[in-house]
Copies of this chain bind each other. A is one copy, B any other.
Amino acid sequence: MTLTKVVLSERDMPTHWYNINADLPAAGVELPPVLHPITLQPVGPADLAPLFPMALIMQEVSTERYIEIPDEVQELYKLWRPTPLYRAVRWEEALDTPAKIYFKYEGTSPAGSHKPNTAIPQAYYNKQAGVTRLTTETGAGQWGSALSFACQAFGIECKVYMVRVSYDQKPYRRSLMQTWGATVVPSPSPQTAAGRAILAQDPNSSGSLGIAISEAVEEAVTREDTNYSLGSVLNHVLLHQTVVGQEVMKQMELIGADWPDVVIGCVGGGSNFGGFAFPFLRENLVNGRRSRIIAVEPLAAPSITRGVYAYDYGDTAKMAPVAKMHTLGHDFIPAPIHAGGLRYHGMAPQVSAVANAGLIEAQAVPQRAIFEAAMSFTRAEGILPAPEPSHAILAAMNEALACKESGESKTIVFNLCGHGHFDLGSYDAFLQGRLEDYEYPAEAIERSLANLPRV
């Protein structure tokens, strides 16, 4: 029974974030400008100033390859970083595969996922800029709890608009945010014009991430003391998450692992995938490596595999900036799959651009199959994955089983971006046979095309 874990020392933690924008032009990939939601003209830093501190706006548009991580952020990272990398030896045995499977584990953070990697620097830069309140949205609660934790660390007030259906169905996540001192409001709420407009149409609206973003953005725009914070999609968010991929490369080197043939991450808004995969993508682009890099999304919200690559709003009420991205349409509300963190209509512009350029692959997978893969994994390795990373687990399993067929001994690495201790209701539903598969409805494609902004 061999078991392999690689823990970096704190000395070996990355001191810089990696910015893929520096390497895209040479690869022939263009990142189109972000547009103002009303004028549909390219936004400048001043347009974003009501939402974000200037340091984050500068990161958003930076083409510097490596951006230094502030000391205070590095110190707080050490609360749970560096995180371990494992070789899944027992799972390899269970799958009877000649493949070598490695996984990074981000579930040891206080919030149980990779989200604090960006919550901490976002709170830090806002604090530096004198901001005393932050608003944000949250679906299942992963991001909201991460930001609540980060705000608490820097003494910033935090207000979270939580999608109504999750607010009612997942009180535990709400309690976690409140325990860390945040104010949590079910969305749509009567506290914003956006919320009131939705409630006027449907007083019983169960909400969506797009609506909650509208409310959080509206409050930040209309209050002087308040900024907005987003947990995915934007360049600076993906930037902060690159500590994950950089650590993995160092850990694989330390353990003498082969260079990965396949790099796999789940993808919803794109921050987990970008943070994990972009350091590897750079090696493909710049240093002649040939890893296949696979983004795995739910069949219920398949923005890369079934959406269009076009300009669209980031939110339902059309208040957030307009970006060119893979989108299912800003008014598309994904089916209630248990991987709440992947229920978003759009996709990070950076991930969309490299997908559009064919530099990465994408797969869409159904819900029941990801729970089956999660069961296979946890019964071998012990760690219980959240439904989101279970998308990556399924893809890794399929690769490993293909190796069994072909006899190849490929090296596969994936990111296990959060534990499933908050998701046992979902496992319970799976064990009792109550889980459904959802497909993105074909008729929604036409609607999404019809409602895109005309740029």
| Main secondary structure on A side of the interface with B | helix
Residue numbers in B under 8 Å from A75 (CB-CB): 1-3
Given A5-B10, A7-B7, A7-B10, A110 contacting B424 (CB threshold 8 A): no
Given A1-B76, A75-B2, A179 contacting B427 (CB threshold 8 A): yes
Q: How many copies does the complex hold?
A: 2
Query: Across the interface, do B427 and A379 meet the contact criterion of CB distance under 8 Å?
Result: no
Query: Across the interface, do A171 and B76 meet the contact criterion of CB distance under 8 Å?
Result: no
Residue numbers in B under 8 Å from A2 (CB-CB): 75
CB of A153 closer than 8 Å to a CB of B: yes
Interface residue from B176, B422, B431 paired with A179 (Cβ < 8 Å): B431
Residue numbers in B under 8 Å from A181 (CB-CB): 379
Query: Chain B nearest CB: distance from A223 CB in Å?
Result: 24
Query: Chain B nearest CB: distance from A187 CB in Å?
Result: 19
In the complex, besides A3-B75, A90-B153, A421-B422, 11 extra interface pairs with C-beta distance below 8 angstroms are A1-B75, A7-B9, A79-B86, A110-B382, A152-B379, A171-B425, A172-B425, A175-B427, A179-B375, A179-B379, A179-B431
Query: Across the interface, do A112 and B179 meet the contact criterion of CB distance under 8 Å?
Result: no
Contact flags A348-387 to B (C-beta < 8 A → 1, else 0)? 0000000000000000000000000001001101111000
CB of A305 closer than 8 Å to a CB of B: no
Interface residue from B1, B152, B175, B424 paired with A431 (Cβ < 8 Å): B175
What is the interface residue range for chain A against chain B?
35 or more
CB of A290 closer than 8 Å to a CB of B: no
Residue numbers in B under 8 Å from A378 (CB-CB): 179-180
Query: A residues 150-185 with Cβ under 8 Å of B?
Result: 152-153, 171-176, 178-181
Given A382-B110, A382-B149, A421-B422, A176 contacting B427 (CB threshold 8 A): yes
What are 9 A-B residue pairs whose CB atoms fall within 8 Å in the complex?
A: A1-B72, A5-B79, A79-B382, A79-B383, A110-B383, A152-B379, A173-B424, A174-B428, A175-B428
CB of A78 closer than 8 Å to a CB of B: yes
Interface residue from B3, B379, B421 paired with A421 (Cβ < 8 Å): B421
Complex formed: what's the CA distance from A75 to B3 in Å?
6
Complex formed: what's the CA distance from A431 to B171 in Å?
12
Query: Across the interface, do B152 and A382 meet the contact criterion of CB distance under 8 Å?
Result: yes
Query: Chain B nearest CB: distance from A115 CB in Å?
Result: 13
CB of A108 closer than 8 Å to a CB of B: yes
Query: Chain B nearest CB: distance from A354 CB in Å?
Result: 33
Query: A residues 377-413 with Cβ under 8 Å of B?
Result: 378-379, 381-384
Given A7-B7, A78-B3, A79-B5, A172 contacting B424 (CB threshold 8 A): yes
Residue numbers in B under 8 Å from A422 (CB-CB): 421
Query: A residues 202-225 with Cβ under 8 Å of B?
Result: none
Complex formed: what's the CA distance from A369 to B379 in Å?
38
Complex formed: what's the CA distance from A384 to B422 in Å?
13
Residue numbers in B under 8 Å from A381 (CB-CB): 79
Query: Across the interface, do A428 and B172 meet the contact criterion of CB distance under 8 Å?
Result: yes
Query: Chain B nearest CB: distance from A69 CB in Å?
Result: 14
Query: Across the interface, do A76 and B3 meet the contact criterion of CB distance under 8 Å?
Result: yes
